[in-house]
Structure formats: C-alpha cells, structure tokens
Structure 1
Amino acid sequence: MEVHDRTSSVLKDHFDRNRTNLSRSELVVAEHLVSMPIDVLIFRSAEEIAAETGTSDATVIRAARRLGFSGLPELKRICSRVMAQTLPTSERLEHRFRATGENLTNVAKQMFEAAREVVTATEEQFDENEVSHAVSILEQADTVWCLGIGTSEAEAIHCSVALSRVGLRTRCSGASGFTLANELLDLRRDDVVVMFHALRDADELKLVVRQISEIGCKVILICGVQLKATYEGMVSALITCTSTPSKLASWSLGALVMADILSYGVAVRNQKQAIDSKARLAKLRAAISTR
C-alpha cells in the first residue's frame, strides 16, 4: 500500500453505492471515514469518530450500517484487509505504536475498547441455529475432542474444561504434525471434535478436517470469519468469531465466549447431568483441600 493511497478503495466503493441512503449527519460521518487513512481508521472508536465529526456514537454506527456493513467493527475489518496483505507485520506494529502512544493509561483505554469491539463483532456474527445445532452434536458425543490449531491451544483447553464441568467426557490437544496424528489414532466414530483456528487457512487444518470427517466424526469449527466460505459444508457446524484490525485485542476473546455459550447450552439442556458433575467436582476439591 503506497503512502499516497492510504485510504480504503473498498470504503469508497461502498460510499459511492450508498451515499443517497445517508442522512445529513450520516453523510458527514461517511465522508470523514472515506477520507481517513486505513492505518488511522482501524484505531478509531465510534466515540472518537463522533467527537471528530460533531455527531453521536449512534450516528457513527448507523452510518456504517447504511454503507453496507454490519457495524463499525466490520467496516474497519474489511477495509483493513489490503493493509494486512501488503504491509509486513513489523511495519504494522510500527503503525500500532504511533497510534497508541506510550501512555499506559491511554493504551489500556484503547485495549479495553478493542476488547469490547471483539465481543460486539462476534455477537453480530452470532448464528443461533448454528450454535443450537452444535450443542445438539455435543450432547450426542461419546468423547469431545477440543483441538487448538496453531496458536489456539488456550481456547481448546478452556472449552475442554468447560464441557467436562457440565458432564461431558473430553480430551484436549494443541499438538501438531506427527504428535497430533498419533493422538488422533484414538478417535472413534461417535466422538465429536471441536476445532479452534483463528485467521488464515492452513494445510494442516484442511488435512485434519478431512481426515476426521473420513473417520465419521462430527466436526465443530470455531474460526475467523475469513475461513467461513472455505469450510462451510466441510464441517458439521461452523461458528465464526472476529478479531480487530488494530490487533489491540485478541480473537481469543470471542472464541472463549463461544466456548462458554456451547458449554452452558449443554448444561441447560441436561441440567441434572450438569448439577451432578458440579457436585462431584466440589466433592473432589474438598477431598484435595483436606490433604
């Protein structure tokens, strides 16, 4: 991305197509967004944009939707893709340093805002039918395998623990390569695999999904929105989470919330099982603490 062309052509296209749908105040916001360099836009909150345009948070959000996006998070995420594809990670980090500054109070404020953005954007992607289907799949599992591909082991561990506490038998792995292949030898037809993978596609992910499906296991994939088109139809259930283009908050936040929704969904449909499991856990903890 050249320095002289730092604004988003995608956003300009959306603006040209939808400008007649905008109110006067929304037009002010939209023109401000179109003129803003991408490396500045991705760090702006609705509150900051409202202050810069003399409007309100609600007007900023409405303007983003009138431009054809689900909200401001999606607008920033889609407009930033060209930057992510063309700039090296080191240069993107330099942009981040310039945008946040060095004052830790200000940095913390921006990171909390980014964390809220992750959760909000993930909620916008929430598909009730797909999640309900995933819960039904989990209820029928003999063993639930939680696999973290790449850097997603923490999410897999969290999901495995949460599901075990509501009465499901689980296994967890963050292994890759030959080690993962050895572990998957224990997979059986009635098992269910919950896989976590954040953003970019990987040959290993394709291979694992294909091999698990050939065994006859059902696969629930929790992934970034970029992977939806690739894996829809290849897995039994697909749940998307989002990240922020600023990278000030992790994709993991949305994935952890989705894991909690799945485990609680199993619990409310199988309340006696969940209560009995909690009681056994409390008994085990009490026995350990008295030693």
Structure 2
Amino acid sequence: MDDHNQKLLEDRFQQHKSKLSRSELAVVEYLLATPLDILIFESAEDIAAKSGTSDATVIRAARRLGFTGLPELKRLCSRNMAKSIPTTERLSQRFRATGDDLRAITKRIFSTVHEIMTSSEEKLDIDALAHTMQLLDKANTVWCLGIGRSEVEAKHCSIALSRVGLRTRHSGSSGFVLANELIDLRADDVVIVFQTARDTAELRLVVNQVSELDCRVVLVCGVQLTELYRDRVSAVLTCVGSATGLASWTLGAIVVADILAYGIAARNQERALKTRKRLAQLREQVPK
C-alpha cells in the first residue's frame, strides 16, 4: 500500500482503535497489511475469510474507522493510486484480480454494480434532490451538458425529462461548438452538468459562464467534485464510482436522472400523462 494510503488508514486506526473489538482489530490489521492493488478488488466476504471474521465484522470495522463502509474505505485509499498509475497498469491489475473465467468476472462486476448503487444512495442528498426538482419545475428549458465522457448521461437525462413534459436540450460538445450552443441560454433556464471526477478548465468555464447569465446550475458528479463545487452551484447530486473501475460511474448518474424524471412526473402527473399520450400518438405515426 503506498505511503499516503497507509497513513490514511493508520491515522484512522489511531483515532478510533479504542472503539474496535478484537475481531474488528483483526480486520484492520489485515487491511493495513494488504497491498492496495489487491485490497480494492476484495469484497467484505473475501476480507472476512482472510481475517478469520465475518462480513458484518468487516463492514462494522470500516465504519468504526470513520468510513461509511468498505466501498468508501477502498475509494478514498485508492485516490492517489488512480492518479499516479497509468491506465494500462490499472487495466492489468483488473486482469490479475479477475482472471478470465466468465462466471467469476460476471459475479465481480455485479458485486461492483451493487457497491456503486449502495454508495450512491448513501451519498445522494435528498434536500439537494428536492431543490433540484423545484428548479426544474420553474425552468423554461433544462440543458443537460455532458463534460468529457459524460455525454451519455446528459442525453439520457434530457430524454427522460422531456418524456415527462419538460423542454430540454442536451450536449456533449466542447470548445467553440459548446460556446455556440450556449448562446441560446436564457436567465430562466436550468443547466444540469454531468462530470465524473476531474475539475477541468471546461467545467469551471461552464459553471462560471452559466452562473453569470443568472441561470441555475445543478452538478451531477463524484465525491471529489462535490467537495469543490458545493458552494458554487445551486445543487450538487453525488454519484459514487468504484475503486476497481470494473463498472462505470455512469450507472449512478443514470439512476439520478431517472429519479429526477420520475419525481417531476409524480409532482405534475397530468402534464406527464399528456406528454406520454402525445408521445404514443407520434410513435403510431412513424412509418414501420
């Protein structure tokens, strides 16, 4: 485990060791002794078997150390590794951890998806979600912008919201093309920006420029950007990725978009039903 991540766990251990039971101490000792590139791929079940404890004890030990659970422990400890290790080496780590057995790979990926969903649910701020829906209700147009690789999430959100009666636009453009598109922004519009983890110059530019137009900005992002932008935008909706990279952050962002769409529909049922009826009529007219 690299020095920074070793220190993070050791600091947490020193702060909370008086709260740990004997079995929880066995878990922490295993965590401190295990290389990070191995640890991040291990489930609570794996760690329990190797530390002679139980799944529940592993999860409890992570929480005793001040983490929300094992996923957050692995994610926070792996931040430096993700930045410093080349993408080809990270992929090689995955290959070593999973092997090539399809059944084992399938199990690991489903486990990772479950981890992403559970962690995203824990991190999602219901008050921020409610505030976002209030903003969307009052918006003239909802813009869904995907920064970097997040175009898929933006498009999904735009389509989902349009199907419940909101006027939307989406874009995954950058540079001059994005600037041309944003000319159409109006003060009563709301912009939902999707960005995973990196604080890029483009993200800063979009947030600053949109805010100057007196538009409301909602950021759908990872934990690190939540900390940076919480006080700079109207609302932050946090989605959690996985330390292993075996499944995409996109999964949580798609679910957040679906929650927004269904929440808007539930608040404006008549409009949603009319929109769905109109959509069905238009589909019937499409040549088959």
TM-score band, normalised by shorter chain:
over 0.9
Quote the residue 2:138 is aligned against.
140
Aligned with residue 241 of structure 1, among 236, 239, 242 = 239
Tell me by how many angstroms 1:282 deviates. Answer: 1.3
Quote the residue 2:96 is aligned against.
98
Change beyond 3 A, Cα 1:104–1:140: same
Quote the residue 1:286 is aligned against.
284
Any gaps of 5 or more consecutive residues in structure 1?
none
3-state SS of paired residue (1:205):
helix
Q: Is the 8 A contact 1:7 1:36 kept in 2?
A: no
Q: Is the 8 A contact 1:141 1:190 kept in 2?
A: yes
Indicate the larger mover: 223-232 or 148-157: 223-232
Q: Which runs of 4+ in 1 moved over 4 A?
A: none
Indicate the larger mover: 170-179 or 273-282: 273-282
- Would you say 1:57 and 2:55 are equivalent positions? yes
3-state SS of paired residue (2:66):
coil
Quote the residue 1:87 is aligned against.
85
Aligned with residue 198 of structure 1, among 192, 196, 208 = 196
3-state SS of paired residue (1:112):
helix
Quote the residue 2:154 is aligned against.
156
Amino acid in structure 1 at the alignment position of 2:253 = A
Tell me by how many angstroms 1:82 deviates. Answer: 2.1
- Give the whole-Å Cα distance in 1 for the aligned partners of 2:272 and 2:53: 48
After superposition, give the CA deviation of every residue in 1:192-212 in whole Å (9 maximum; x if it has no partner).
101100011100100011000
Quote the residue 1:181 is aligned against.
179
Amino acid in structure 2 at the alignment position of 1:288 = V
Q: Is the 8 A contact 1:7 1:35 kept in 2?
A: no
Indicate the larger mover: 112-121 or 148-157: 112-121
Tell me by how many angstroms 1:190 deviates. Answer: 0.7
Quote the residue 2:20 is aligned against.
22
Indicate the larger mover: 193-202 or 46-55: 46-55
- Give the whole-Å Cα distance in 1 for the aligned partners of 2:163 and 2:124: 24
Tell me by how many angstroms 1:177 deviates. Answer: 0.3
Amino acid in structure 1 at the alignment position of 2:189 = D
3-state SS of paired residue (2:183):
helix
- Give the whole-Å Cα distance in 2 for the aligned partners of 1:132 and 1:71: 26
Aligned with residue 72 of structure 1, among 65, 70, 73 = 70
- Give the whole-Å Cα distance in 1 for the aligned partners of 2:169 and 2:271: 18
After superposition, give the CA deviation of every residue in 1:51-75 in whole Å (9 maximum; x if it has no partner).
2223222221111100110111100
3-state SS of paired residue (2:237):
strand
- Give the whole-Å Cα distance in 2 for the aligned partners of 1:211 and 1:249: 33
- Give the whole-Å Cα distance in 1 for the aligned partners of 2:197 and 2:259: 21
Tell me by how many angstroms 1:6 deviates. Answer: 9.5
Amino acid in structure 2 at the alignment position of 1:25 = S
Any gaps of 5 or more consecutive residues in structure 2?
none
RMSD: 1.5
Quote the residue 1:251 is aligned against.
249
- Give the whole-Å Cα distance in 1 for the aligned partners of 2:180 and 2:235: 25
Tell me by how many angstroms 1:7 deviates. Answer: 6.5
- Give the whole-Å Cα distance in 2 for the aligned partners of 1:9 and 1:107: 32
Question: What's the TM-score once normalised by structure 1's chain length?
Answer: 0.95
Question: What's the TM-score once normalised by structure 2's chain length?
Answer: 0.96
After superposition, give the CA deviation of every residue in 1:217-244 in whole Å (9 maximum; x if it has no partner).
1011001111112211211111111111
Indicate the larger mover: 45-54 or 251-260: 45-54
- Give the whole-Å Cα distance in 2 for the aligned partners of 1:52 and 1:130: 40
Quote the residue 2:6 is aligned against.
8
3-state SS of paired residue (1:147):
strand
Q: Is the 8 A contact 2:5 2:78 kept in 1?
A: no
Alignment length (residue pairs)? 288
Tell me by how many angstroms 1:250 deviates. Answer: 0.5
- Give the whole-Å Cα distance in 2 for the aligned partners of 1:30 and 1:44: 14
Amino acid in structure 1 at the alignment position of 2:206 = V
3-state SS of paired residue (1:31):
helix
Indicate the larger mover: 179-188 or 42-51: 42-51
Amino acid in structure 2 at the alignment position of 1:65 = R
